[in-house]
């Protein structure tokens, strides 16, 4: 096994496809643990569907037709591992971290969760409670509610859906969780042959039925305003696989992130107005979006959109933004806000590395983009970053 | 690459040194780590503040960043600086890409330069915003109330963030001279770095600090009654927690909290819980904050049932494994945090992962009973 692991590490991540086309990426790493991660793209869904996916994801691992989650969850918990199913902005994420000798039951379980979730009343009730807790946190934590409301209003992010019937969950599941929307990555002490064997047996011939119609999903009423007021400005950018993506990301970082970011300089250092400011990314099937925000207990700044549009990065700002983006890509985002978008995850853990490999593949950029992205950012010029910000503000 | 695989299983190696000015230096070599962590701990915080200066340490923490120089060093190398002030220590820290460890260490050390007082008023406005944000968290009310009722009349009752209504009047220069001195500092660098080289880099950064006078935290109070209560949607329960001077007992309460808040124990009762245990030199207050996941009534009664001893054998085994796993996790951030605090509080590096293996069920049951007294 050591020889196999060494060979895999030298070769780097390897991509294969199951008979039904699902991409499977395997990246060998030393240690006892294995992370099995499944991403399901949700970047083309409507706000109502995205809101419903948040509940559906939480109910996905409640129970399946063949397996009880309890024992696996307990085992994972006791070794410090995790069993996770959640909506993560532009995708749904299912993940099991466990010891290498449990890869087979973990794969069988995750396959069952993908193919045959029961969506029992208990699972849906638990999911609703979990979501209500999450929603309460969003409601009280500026700028999350204002941010989500604004992104949803543009048809780009989830609206609040607190209740989902079994019929609705099954219909949505059949529409969203399909082989052509899935990418799988496995990182840890494992070799690609074993993974191909295990996943091929459980998911290789998965051909789901067509979705059945269900009653329309209902949205919740918007919540009342909190003690903070938030100003927002949204800009549009290219797809992750497109040529200008790195320049656009760096331009957004120059404005929105870090103590030397433009927003921090204006609204914290110069005006002592805000402690909560930054940027939030939304990656959709047709484009990427960045929403800048500043929250304050006083009046939200009226000049916020102008602050964003009139900014032009100089060489020093560009240099800082590039370094910051590379560092963030390696280490992860600094705030909870990022959890609802992209680029909040670094590369420190096997689970984080698994995420990026599957994410780039899912976005059509290929797994090699993971290793190449930092270098691409490093080579950017100030002019390229400036070009990325031309006419980028949405109404 | 073969060498990488071969050494990845080796435990982190810890190198320590004490400078003439009293500063402790800790370099931790973690082969194969993808990131570094630079963390500096100051013996500083609300327990050292006179009542009239409440919040002064937190204000100093903000002002350490005010000239933007340290942030500029960090952000131009790809990472962010951060800081938090607690009752008994201030933590200045960053995590970044593995090969930038020298820059990270320098950026954190740069924070200890004497700050200018010119930004005090502006930074106080920012602290008021931070305070308003903190108050939106329901657990903040649990914390503030339980600490104040349990430690009433002692410096331990003061809030690390201070009172946002009243700006402290202490001289910033005097505060800096009190806390940012060798005898109150532990500096740690952790990552895939040669230990001796790490120590050498730390030495050149921290040798210039004046020795100053070492501070000792006041003795923790005899925790008074009122250690539980309802606060909005949450019900909080506190218990006296040992400090690092009794680290076996500290680990026992950590395992107890893990067992008492395990999903298998709480879910049948329709509860979720958050726990808070801040490391300390000689003792502090541990808090478990419960909420009903089903929205039904009877939260205090259900929380009481969740805390009912004893902890079962299975709960004990799971919780102990989980605590051990947390300490055994060789991420630079975890290693630097645990080593830095144990040196700050005891003058030596405690191997919590190894010591957690010998925690007994009897110790954990005794610790768990602390929440129902």
Is B195 in the A-facing interface, judged by CB distances under 8 Å? Answer: no
Indicate the SS3 state at residue A129.
helix
For residue B5, what pLDDT is reported? 30
Which of the residues in chain B have pLDDT under 70?
1-10, 225-226
For residue A62, what pLDDT is reported? 67
Nearest to B308 by CA among B271, B352, B348, B279: B271
Q: CA A23: distance to chain centroid? A: 18
CB < 8 Å to A77, chain B: 262-263, 318, 322
Strand partners, B80: none
CB < 8 Å to B84, chain A: none
Gap between the Cα atoms of A321 and A386, Å rounded: 12
Q: Tell me if B343 sits within 8 A of B304, measured CB to CB.
A: no
Q: Quick count: other Cβ atoms within 10 Å of Cβ A303?
A: 10
For residue A69, what pLDDT is reported? 58
Q: What angle do CA A28, A40, A223 make, to 5 degrees?
A: 125
β strands within A159-226, DSSP E: 182-188
Sign for the pseudo-dihedral over CA of A8, A9, A12, A13: positive
Structure token pair of residue A180: 């052509």
In angstroms, what is the C-alpha Rg of chain A?
21
Gap between the Cα atoms of B270 and A393, Å rounded: 46
Q: CA B37: distance to chain centroid? A: 15
Residue A57 to residues A60, A74, A189, B262, Cα–Cα distance (Å): 5, 19, 27, 22
Is B321 in the A-facing interface, judged by CB distances under 8 Å? Answer: yes
Residue A106 to residues A59, A70, A81, A358, Cα–Cα distance (Å): 18, 13, 12, 18
Residue A292: enclosing H or E segment and its boundaries? strand A288-296
* DSSP type of residue B221: P
| Contact at CB, B331 and A348, closer than 8 angstroms | yes
**Distance in Å, alpha carbon of B367 to nearest chain A alpha carbon:** 20
For residue A77, what pLDDT is reported? 59
Gap between the Cα atoms of A363 and B93, Å rounded: 34
CB < 8 Å to B130, chain A: 275
**Distance in Å, alpha carbon of B176 to nearest chain A alpha carbon:** 22
Is A296 in the B-facing interface, judged by CB distances under 8 Å? Answer: yes
Residue A307: enclosing H or E segment and its boundaries? helix A304-309
CB < 8 Å to A313, chain B: none
Which of the residues in chain A have pLDDT under 70?
1-11, 62-82, 222-226, 333-343, 395
Nearest to B130 by CA among A252, A272, A18: A272
Q: Quick count: other Cβ atoms within 10 Å of Cβ B166?
A: 10
Q: Which residue bears the tokens 């102990």?
A: B320
Nearest to A60 by CA among A109, A122, A123: A123
| Contact at CB, B321 and A78, closer than 8 angstroms | yes
Is A320 in the B-facing interface, judged by CB distances under 8 Å? Answer: yes
> Quick one: B324 exposed, middle or buried, by C-beta within 10 A (0-12, 13-18, 19+)?
buried
CB contact residues (below 8 A), chain A span 106-145, against chain B:
129-130, 132-133, 136, 140-142
Q: Which residue bears the tokens 């800081």?
A: B83
Strand partners, A99: A33
Q: CA B266: distance to chain centroid? A: 26
Nearest to A280 by CA among A90, A84, A53, A98: A90
Reported residue count of chain A is 395
CB contact residues (below 8 A), chain A span 65-84, against chain B:
70, 73-74, 77-80
Is A269 in the B-facing interface, judged by CB distances under 8 Å? Answer: yes
Residue B94: enclosing H or E segment and its boundaries? strand B90-97
Backbone angles phi, psi at B125, to 5 degrees: -65, -40
Q: What angle do CA B71, B180, B220 make, to 5 degrees?
A: 115
Return the biggest CA–CA distance within chain A: 63
Nearest to B56 by CA among B1, B106, B115: B115
Count of alpha carbons within 13 angstroms of residue B175, beta-carbon side: 27
Q: In what order do the strands lie in the sheet with B81-85?
A: B13-18, B24-29, B185-191, B35-42, B90-97, B81-85
Q: Tell me if B198 sits within 8 A of B27, measured CB to CB.
A: yes
Q: Quick count: other Cβ atoms within 10 Å of Cβ B230?
A: 15
Structure token pair of residue B286: 């541990």
Nearest to A97 by CA among A74, A117, A80: A80
Q: CA A230: distance to chain centroid? A: 23
Instruction: Measure CB to CB from residue B35 to each of A80, A323, A348 and give the nearest one.
Output: A348
Residue B296 to residues A58, B233, B267, B342, Cα–Cα distance (Å): 21, 11, 13, 42
Alpha helices (H) in chain B, listed in sequence order: 2-8, 56-64, 69-75, 101-110, 120-134, 138-150, 172-179, 195-206, 247-260, 263-266, 299-306, 313-328, 332-346, 352-356, 361-369
For residue A222, what pLDDT is reported? 67
Query: A14-17 and B90-97 as β-strands: parallel, antiparallel, unpaired?
Result: unpaired
Q: CA B17: distance to chain centroid? A: 22
Indicate the SS3 state at residue B60.
helix
Backbone angles phi, psi at B109, to 5 degrees: -60, -35
Backbone angles phi, psi at B132, to 5 degrees: -60, -40
End-to-end alpha-carbon separation of chain B, Å? Answer: 55
Q: Tell me if B108 sits within 8 A of B138, measured CB to CB.
A: no
Q: What percent of chain A has pLDDT over 70?
A: 88
A:B CB pairs within 8 Å: 131
- Cα-Cα-Cα-Cα torsion A3, A5, A6, A9, nearest 10 degrees, comes to 160
Gap between the Cα atoms of A331 and A346, Å rounded: 4
pLDDT, one tens digit per residue, over B261-303 is 998 899 899 999 999 999 999 999 999 999 998 777 899 999 9
pLDDT, one tens digit per residue, over A257-303 is 999 999 999 999 999 999 999 999 999 999 999 999 999 999 999 99
Nearest to A219 by CA among A176, A167, A158: A158
């Amino acid at each position: 096994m050591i020889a196999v692991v060494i060979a895999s590490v030298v070769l780097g991540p390897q991509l294969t496809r199951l008979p039904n086309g699902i991409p499977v990426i395997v990246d060998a790493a030393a240690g006892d643990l294995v992370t099995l991660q499944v991403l399901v793209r949700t970047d083309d869904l409507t706000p109502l569907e995205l809101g419903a996916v948040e509940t559906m994801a939480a109910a996905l691992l409640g129970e399946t037709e063949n397996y009880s989650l309890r024992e696996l969850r307990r085992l994972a918990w006791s070794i410090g591992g995790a069993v996770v199913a959640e909506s993560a902005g532009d995708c749904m994420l299912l993940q099991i971290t466990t010891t290498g000798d449990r890869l087979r039951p973990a794969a069988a379980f995750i396959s069952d969760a993908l193919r045959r979730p029961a969506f029992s009343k208990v699972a849906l009730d638990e999911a609703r409670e979990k979501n209500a807790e999450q929603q309460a946190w969003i409601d009280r934590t500026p700028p999350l509610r204002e941010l989500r409301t604004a992104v949803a209003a543009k048809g780009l992010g989830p609206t609040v859906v607190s209740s989902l019937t079994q019929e609705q969950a099954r219909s949505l599941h059949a529409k969203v969780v399909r082989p052509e929307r899935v990418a799988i990555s496995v990182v840890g002490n494992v070799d690609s042959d074993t993974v191909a064997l295990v996943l091929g047996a459980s998911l290789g011939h998965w051909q789901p039925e067509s979705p059945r119609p269900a009653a329309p999903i209902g949205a919740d009423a918007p919540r009342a305003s909190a003690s903070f007021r938030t100003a927002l400005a949204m800009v549009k950018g290219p797809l992750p696989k497109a040529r200008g993506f790195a320049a656009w990301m760096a331009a957004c970082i120059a404005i929105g992130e870090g103590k030397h970011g433009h927003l921090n300089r204006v609204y914290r250092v110069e005006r002592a107005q805000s402690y909560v400011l930054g940027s939030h990314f939304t990656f959709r099937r047709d484009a990427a979006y960045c929403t800048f925000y500043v929250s304050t207990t006083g009046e939200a700044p009226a000049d916020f959109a102008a602050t964003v549009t009139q900014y032009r990065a100089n060489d020093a700002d560009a240099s800082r933004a590039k370094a910051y983006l590379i560092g963030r890509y390696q280490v992860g985002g600094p705030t909870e806000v990022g959890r609802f978008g992209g680029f909040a995850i670094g590369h420190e853990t096997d689970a984080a590395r698994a995420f990026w490999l599957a994410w780039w593949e899912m976005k059509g950029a290929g797994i090699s983009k993971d290793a190449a992205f930092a270098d691409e950012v490093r080579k950017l010029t100030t002019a390229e970053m400036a070009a990325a910000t031309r006419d980028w503000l949405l109404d | 690459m073969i060498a990488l695989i071969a050494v990845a299983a080796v435990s982190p190696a810890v190198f320590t040194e004490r400078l003439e000015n009293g500063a402790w230096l800790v370099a931790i070599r973690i082969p194969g780590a993808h990131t570094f962590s630079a963390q500096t701990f100051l013996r500083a915080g609300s327990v050292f503040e006179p009542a009239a200066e409440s919040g002064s340490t937190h204000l100093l923490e903000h002002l350490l960043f005010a000239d933007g120089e340290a942030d500029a060093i960090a952000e131009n190398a790809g990472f962010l600086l951060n800081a938090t002030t607690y009752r008994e220590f201030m933590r200045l820290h960053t995590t970044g890409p593995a090969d930038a460890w020298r820059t990270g260490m320098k950026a954190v050390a740069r924070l200890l330069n004497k700050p200018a007082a010119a930004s005090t008023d502006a930074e106080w406005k920012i602290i008021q915003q931070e305070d308003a944000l903190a108050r939106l968290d329901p657990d903040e009310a649990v914390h503030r109330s339980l600490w104040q009722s349990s430690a009433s009349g002692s410096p331990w009752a003061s809030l690390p963030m201070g009172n946002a209504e009243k700006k402290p009047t202490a001289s910033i220069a005097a505060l800096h001279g009190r806390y940012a001195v060798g005898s109150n500092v532990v500096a740690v660098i952790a990552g895939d770095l040669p230990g001796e080289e790490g120590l050498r880099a730390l030495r050149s950064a921290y040798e210039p600090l004046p020795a100053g006078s070492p501070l000792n935290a006041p003795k923790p109070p005899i925790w008074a009654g009122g250690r539980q209560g309802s606060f909005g949607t949450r019900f909080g329960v506190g218990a006296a927690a040992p400090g690092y001077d009794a680290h076996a007992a500290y680990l026992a309460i950590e395992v107890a909290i893990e067992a008492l808040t395990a999903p298998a124990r709480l879910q049948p009762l329709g509860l979720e819980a958050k726990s808070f245990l801040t490391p300390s030199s000689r003792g502090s207050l541990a808090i478990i904050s419960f909420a009903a996941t089903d929205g039904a009534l009877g939260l205090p009664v259900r929380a009481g049932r969740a805390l009912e001893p004893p902890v079962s054998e299975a709960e004990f085994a799971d919780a102990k494994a989980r605590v051990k796993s947390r300490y055994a996790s060789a991420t630079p951030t975890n290693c630097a945090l645990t080593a830095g605090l144990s040196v700050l509080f005891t003058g030596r590096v405690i191997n919590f992962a190894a010591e957690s293996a010998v925690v007994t069920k009897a110790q954990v049951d005794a610790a768990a009973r602390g929440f129902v007294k």
